[in-house]
């Protein structure tokens, strides 16, 4: 069975500082990995994904994530946080098979303080 | 471009009443469709998914059912709501026959059962 762990319920950073939101996964075979963001009372929005190739993936709003196969991690990063980045972030994994479905982590609330 | 519509945005229903939430997708054909529930603003639980008209897979046995009467329409229903059915319901779609594609979410329905 596949799983996703987001070990931090809450991450607090100051505006302008770098941010990291952690994600580790477990899946049979090669994974497809995704990050989504959710603002209050809204649906999830896709940020970025890792399918294959370069381990560093760049996405929307200046976010990037690094795939580390040996550590089974896919941490979300941004060099300089904005107050508007404050939201709930979800990591998701699915196996690279036709029958695969996505499994989401429990989410990490990011708060960026001015 | 593709869009997803989900309604209503909020709903307050008494215990024992029926439920019908609707989701439609525009701008694509034969999408994979999903219903998720999000409890207390945290993790997502996959309730149902569909790869075609009349093809529904249930992930969690419960008081809810889903139907797909048309290619781009997905309906979540209940005959008698329970208090435990309260939550934030999200519809999503993904491109067919492509396992490496991200999901696109609707804006969600906040259901409160009283």
Read off the pLDDT of residues A53-62 as tens digits, 9 standing for 90 and up: 899 999 999 9
For residue B38, give the nearest of B79, B1, B91, B113 by alpha carbon.
Answer: B91
pLDDT score at A94: 86
Residues B46, B36: Cα–Cα separation, whole Å = 5
**A33-37, A69-73, B60-64, range with the lowest pLDDT:** B60-64
**Closest CA of chain B from A79, distance in Å:** 24
Average pLDDT over residues B51-65: 87
| Position B81 pLDDT exceeds 80 | yes
Query: What is the C-alpha separation between A40 and A3, in angstroms, rounded?
Result: 25
Residues 29 through 68 of chain A touching chain B, CB cutoff 8 Å: 32, 34, 36, 41-46, 49, 51
**pLDDT at site B7:** 92
Say what percent of chain A tops pLDDT 90. 79
Q: Do A44 and B49 touch (CB under 8 A)?
A: no
Does the beta-carbon distance from A98 to B42 stay under 8 Å? no
pLDDT value of position B109:
95
Contact A46 B43 (CB under 8 A): no
């Amino acid at each position: 069975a596949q799983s996703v762990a987001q070990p931090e319920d809450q991450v607090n950073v100051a505006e302008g500082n770098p941010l990291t939101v952690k994600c580790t996964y477990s899946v049979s075979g090669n994974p497809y990995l995704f990050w989504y963001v959710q603002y209050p009372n809204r649906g999830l929005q896709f940020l970025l994904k890792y399918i294959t190739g370069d381990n560093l993936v760049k996405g929307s709003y200046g976010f990037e994530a690094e795939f580390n196969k040996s550590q089974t991690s896919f941490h979300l990063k941004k060099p300089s946080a904005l107050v508007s980045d404050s939201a709930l972030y979800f990591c998701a994994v699915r196996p690279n098979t036709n029958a695969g479905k996505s499994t989401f982590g429990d989410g990490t609330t990011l708060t960026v303080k001015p | 471009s593709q869009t997803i519509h989900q309604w209503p945005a909020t709903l307050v229903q008494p215990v024992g009443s029926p439920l019908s939430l609707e989701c439609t997708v525009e701008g694509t054909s034969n999408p994979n469709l999903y219903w998720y529930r999000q409890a207390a603003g945290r993790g997502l639980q996959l309730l149902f998914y569909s790869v075609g008209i009349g093809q529904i897979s249930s992930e969690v046995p419960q008081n809810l059912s889903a139907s797909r009467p048309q290619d781009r329409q997905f309906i979540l229903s209940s005959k008698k709501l329970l208090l435990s059915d309260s939550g934030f319901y999200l519809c999503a779609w993904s491109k067919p026959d492509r396992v490496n594609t991200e999901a696109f979410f609707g804006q969600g329905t906040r259901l409160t059962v009283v």
